[in-house]
């Protein structure tokens, strides 16, 4: 293995290889040294893992702790004044994505029943109805319109609100605060303000549900007396944030990617049976949730390197999903490939709880959109689409689209 690539100083983030491919420095690094030291801007050393095999092994290994509050608060070490942690972060009650066993197991177990494949299959029709109603509204508008605002964001927001029992009328509160929370270059104070805004709202909501539970996932949690209000609030925060921002970005960026690949778009329109495979490939190709942090709780060998106890480890799922050792021509979108095995939902004990829900939303969303808008196209040049390079979940800020006809 060549060792000629310099150790990265900070995380290479610039999308200099196009809107969908990993940054060039990341691809070079993966080839030269898939488990590489990196230096954070505050000067402390950590590791950057970019190779598919190494990322998969790392995510399956619980010696790499998820207790990195920067992971959940998404405050990168790049943030000036952010000290390098020297031990696992204190846990935020209920936010089990940033916990290790047994705390993680205890909380996640309460929710697995609500998100099984079987349970999600039962919801399929309801989710298709939500998508269709939103498409009805879209069809009533005079193009050009912003697909993010009118379709990609509303559909998953409506779905997660219905599931959790969060009034959709309150969406301003959680959409604005979630977006602020996911912005990269905001100060710690601003992040905390957004976090507090969201959790204050959710604490009131779960307190009401504890007093008078209804038929929804948060009420089911609230019925469990051994969970505190803080834990209910944390879990609600995690589910609401993870439940709408991710899928919304997949729907919008996925539509952009398909519009940029018109032959494959035409095939998909002609044969909706291709949809499940296309969704997996879009998940792999776009890897919208890219960067995750872990913390080594002991000295661990990974990909021929020794990661010392106490090191911060940065994982790039985008790099792993574009590893040519695992996927042929990885930077090419190919809806016919078998993208199974991609790491876009993570791997191991933290693997995405909402993945079946997300799949159903994407299948219904893309299928409906392509069927109802047979002449859908970008309303601006592709180079002018504003990419979310400034956010912790990738996507587009807006997707202006137009059409000349609609169908049922
Ligand atoms: C965890 C991606 C949709 C809820 C994760 C992880 C990834 C991910 C990569 C692993 C994080 C880690 O290992 O630290 C995605 C993508 C989505 C999506 C790409 C959409 C396309 C959803 C939805 C929900 C959801 C719709 C709704 C409930 C969660 C939760 C976790 C999680 C609760 C934490 C699981 C744990 O720590 O055990 N997601 N997600 N996600 N996701 Fe998703």
Structure tokens at 272: 């909706």
Q: Which of 159, 354, 359 to mutate to test the pocket of ligand 1 (most atoms within 8 A of CB)?
A: 354
Looking at residue 70, its pLDDT comes to 53
Length, in residues, of the chain: 408
Q: Are 202 and 229 a contacting pair, CB within 8 Å?
A: no
Beta bridge partners of 113: none
Q: What was the ipTM of the complex prediction?
A: 0.99
- Ligand 1 atom with the smallest distance to the CA of 317 is 9
Cα distances (angstroms) measured from residue 288 to each of 67, 79, 229, 294: 22, 21, 31, 18
CA of 352 to the centre of ligand 1 (A): 4
pLDDT cut 70: percent of the chain above it: 94
Out of 96, 131, 343, 352, give the residue to mutate to test ligand 1, the one with the largest number of ligand atoms within 8 Å of its CB.
Answer: 352
Average pLDDT over residues 206-216: 96
CA distance 309 to 289: 26
Return the pLDDT at 84.
Answer: 58
If you average pLDDT over every residue of the chain, what do you get? 92
pLDDT at residue 373, rounded to an integer: 98
Q: Is 36 helix (H, G, I), strand (E, B) or coil?
A: strand
For position 185, what pLDDT does the model report? 76
> 83 pLDDT band (50/70/90 cuts)?
low
Torsion over CA: 231, 201, 158, 135 (sign):
negative
User: What percentage of the chain has pLDDT greater than the value 90?
Assistant: 77
Measured CA to CA in angstroms, residue 247 lies from 113, 212, 271, 282, 295 at distances of 21, 30, 23, 12, 27
Model confidence at 88: pLDDT above 90 = no
Report pLDDT digits (tens) over 180-191. 888 877 777 888
Enumerate residues lining ligand 1, CB below 6 A.
Answer: 59, 66, 96-97, 108, 238-239, 242-243, 246-247, 250, 288-289, 292, 344-346, 350, 352-354, 357-358
Q: Which token pair is 401?
A: 């689209």
For residue 242, the CA-to-ligand 1 centroid distance in Å is 6
d(CA 326, CA 137): 42
Query: How much is the pLDDT for 186?
Result: 78
SS3 label, residue 55: helix
**Sequence-ordered alpha helix ranges (H) in 113-187:** 117-140, 147, 154-164, 171-182
Position 361 confidence tier, pLDDT thresholds 50, 70, 90? very high
Task: Give the tens place of pLDDT for each residue, 224-275.
Answer: 999 999 999 999 999 999 999 999 999 999 999 999 999 999 999 999 999 9
Q: What is the mean pLDDT of residues 37-47?
A: 85
Residue 346 Cα, ligand 1 centroid: separation in angstroms? 8
More confident residue, 375 or 181: 375
**403: CA distance to ligand 1 center in Å?**
33
Closest residue CA from atom 21 of ligand 1? 247
When pLDDT is averaged across residues 181-208 and rounded to a whole number, the result is: 88
Give ∠ CA 84-188-396 in degrees, rounded to 5: 105
Contacts (Cβ under 8 Å, ≥6 apart) of 91: 67, 98, 99, 103
pLDDT tens digit sequence for 310-346: 898 999 999 999 999 999 999 999 999 999 999 999 9
């Amino acid at each position: 293995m060549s060792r000629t690539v310099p150790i990265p100083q900070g995380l290479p983030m610039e999308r200099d290889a196009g809107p969908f491919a990993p940054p060039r420095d990341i691809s070079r690094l993966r080839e030269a040294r898939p488990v590489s030291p990196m230096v954070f801007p505050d000067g402390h050393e950590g590791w950057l893992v970019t190779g598919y095999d190494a990322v998969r092994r790392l995510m399956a290994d619980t010696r790499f702790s998820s207790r990195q509050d920067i992971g959940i608060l998404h405050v990168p070490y790049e943030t000036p004044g952010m000290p390098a942690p020297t031990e696992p972060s204190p846990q935020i009650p209920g936010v089990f994505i940033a916990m290790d066993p047994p705390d993680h197991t205890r909380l996640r177990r309460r929710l697995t029943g609500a998100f099984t494949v079987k349970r999600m299959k039962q919801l399929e029709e309801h989710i298709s109805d939500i998508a269709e109603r939103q498409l009805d509204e879209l069809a009533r508008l005079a193009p050009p319109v912003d697909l993010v605002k009118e379709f990609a964001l509303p559909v998953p927001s409506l779905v997660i609100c219905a599931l959790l029992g969060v009034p959709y009328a309150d969406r301003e509160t959680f959409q604005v605060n979630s977006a602020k929370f996911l912005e990269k270059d905001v100060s710690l104070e601003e992040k905390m303000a957004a976090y507090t805004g969201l959790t204050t709202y959710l604490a009131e909501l779960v307190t009401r549900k504890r007093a008078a539970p209804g038929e929804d996932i948060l009420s089911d949690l609230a019925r469990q007396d051994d969970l505190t209000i803080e834990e209910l609030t944390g879990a609600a925060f995690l589910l609401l944030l993870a439940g709408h921002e991710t899928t919304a970005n997949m729907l919008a960026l996925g539509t952009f990617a398909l519009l940029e690949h018109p032959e494959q778009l035409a095939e998909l329109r002609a044969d909706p049976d291709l949809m499940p495979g296309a969704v997996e490939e879009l998940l792999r190709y776009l890897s919208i949730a890219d960067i995750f942090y872990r913390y080594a709780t002991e000295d661990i060998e990974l990909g021929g390197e020794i990661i010392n106890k106490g090191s911060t480890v940065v994982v790039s799922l985008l790099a792993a999903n574009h590893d040519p050792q695992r996927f042929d021509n990885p930077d090419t979108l190919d809806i016919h490939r078998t993208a199974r095995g991609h790491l876009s939902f993570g791997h191991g004990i933290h693997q995405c709880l909402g993945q079946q829900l997300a799949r159903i939303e994407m299948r219904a969303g893309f299928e409906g959109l392509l069927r109802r808008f047979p002449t859908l196209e970008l309303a601006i040049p592709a180079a002018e689409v504003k990419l979310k390079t400034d956010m912790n979940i990738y996507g587009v800020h807006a997707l202006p689209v137009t059409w000349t006809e609609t169908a049922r």
